[in-house]
Amino acid sequence: MTPRERWQAVLRGERPDRTPCDYWGTAEITAKLMAALGCASERALWQRLSIDKCIHLSPTHPQATEDTWHMPSLFSVWHVKTRMMPYADGLGEYEETIYSPLAQACSVADVESFAWPDPDLWDISGLRAQCRHWEGYPILGASYEPFYLYCRLRGMEQALEDLLVNPAMAEAALEHIHSIHESVIRRVLDAVGDRIDFIYVAEDLGTQDSLLMSPRCFRRFLKPLLERMIRLAHSYGVKAFHHDDGAIRPVIPDLIEIGIDVLNPIQWRCAGMEPEGLARDFGQHLVFHGGIDNQRTLPFGTPEEVRLEVARNLRIFRACKGYVVAPCHNIQANTPVENILAMYEAVQEFG
């Protein structure tokens, strides 16, 4: 079977020839892995490790200074300023916000007068050719993460405070964010909806121990927006890939209710996210994606510990609708290559 055929079988609740596996990693670890294995391209890396890579594509924007598939992270388009910050003694770097253009907004009028980007400027003309280039692989065609972007526009502390003390302004901004993304994603679906498999409908709602906001706030401010985008994707026969970090168990029933198809990243070391409980309570509704710990096991464990964790997850999720083996978020730059190899070798052994 091709990687795409494996994913599609899982999404239908069927058993492919083996459990599919995916790869998420920082640019630094991907380059390190390619060098260690002598791979000249990322496609060669996926083939070398038998990875069923979900390819992340996106329309481009002529005014963006960034090059990323994640539309909310085209920060220059949204007037957000960032800088790269090193971590792990310079092994890698992450982009951090240094200027939030709505930080000084005080009213709905300030939100309405903001220079929101024109959705018609996003360029979808190259997407079909890119889909052809990745024939045989599952494809994610566009991304949407409304509160993630609102936090960058407003500043995270202020964005969270707005939900309680300035809800009308938060609702106005989130509606603008939704409207722009919906317009762009509808054009994507019109152009390549017959070829893509997923729309990324996501958030970052969890910390290590709890939700960032109460379930009540989630249900008021975000759940209706996510549901509208999922309905749009489903109307074209495209699935909703939902990414949500951390301890999000209290809202998983809500996510199932609004129709998510895949739940990522299953950070099982976070409170309430134990795989056994997730599989028992939600496994008949969802395809789980991720679950190989990159907080301790992948960066600090042994290859044998990685191998056993893959085997454990395959055993736990076997009775669920489906499972895709992957790290539970981006593999970090301090992860030993031998641990990454152990993860994908274990998929071949146990999957």
Across the range 25-33, mean pLDDT stands at 96
Across the range 54-74, mean pLDDT stands at 97
Are 270 and 205 in contact by the 8 Å Cβ rule? The answer is no
In the chain, which ranges are continuous DSSP H helix?
3-11, 27-37, 42-48, 108-112, 127-133, 146-154, 156-165, 167-192, 215-217, 223-235, 252-257, 275-282, 297-300, 303-317, 337-350
CATH of the domain at 308: 3.20.20.210
pLDDT score for 324: 98
Return the number of other C-beta atoms located less than 10 Å from residue 133's C-beta: 12
Return the number of other C-beta atoms located less than 10 Å from residue 119's C-beta: 17
Per cent of the chain over pLDDT 90 is: 98
First to last CA, the chain: 14
Distance CA 119, CA 173 (A): 15
Beta bridge partners of 106: none
Distance CA 127, CA 144 (A): 17
Across the range 58-68, mean pLDDT stands at 96
Question: How many domains does the chain divide into?
Answer: 1
pLDDT score for 90: 85
CB half-sphere exposure, 271, CA atoms < 13 A: 8
Q: pLDDT, tens digit, for every residue of 321-344?
A: 999 999 999 999 999 999 999 999
Across the range 289-313, mean pLDDT stands at 98
| DSSP state string for 59-91 | -B-TT-S---S-GGG-GGGGT-EEEEEEETTTT
Across the range 90-110, mean pLDDT stands at 95
239-243/262-264 β-pairing: parallel
**Boundaries of domain holding 37:** 3-350
Across the range 138-145, mean pLDDT stands at 98
Across the range 162-168, mean pLDDT stands at 98
pLDDT score for 91: 86
In the predicted structure, residue 351 carries a pLDDT above the cut 90: no
| DSSP state string for 139-206 | EEEEEE-HHHHHHHHH-HHHHHHHHHH-HHHHHHHHHHHHHHHHHHHHHHHHHHTTT--EEEE----B
146-154 vs 167-192: helix axis angle to the nearest 10? 130
Q: pLDDT, tens digit, for every residue of 207-264?
A: 999 999 999 999 999 999 999 999 999 999 999 999 999 999 999 999 999 999 999 9
3-class DSSP assignment, residue 314: helix
pLDDT score for 68: 96
pLDDT score for 89: 84
pLDDT score for 239: 98
Are 154 and 100 in contact by the 8 Å Cβ rule? The answer is yes
Per cent of the chain over pLDDT 70 is: 100
Is residue 117 very low, low, confident or very high in pLDDT (cuts 50, 70, 90)?
A: very high
Beta bridge partners of 97: 82
237 to 102, 150, 193: CA distances (angstroms) = 36, 28, 8
Are 13 and 321 in contact by the 8 Å Cβ rule? The answer is yes
In the predicted structure, residue 88 carries a pLDDT above the cut 90: no
Beta bridge partners of 328: none
pLDDT score for 158: 98
Across the range 149-168, mean pLDDT stands at 98
In the predicted structure, residue 87 carries a pLDDT above the cut 90: no
Across the range 14-32, mean pLDDT stands at 96
Across the range 270-277, mean pLDDT stands at 97
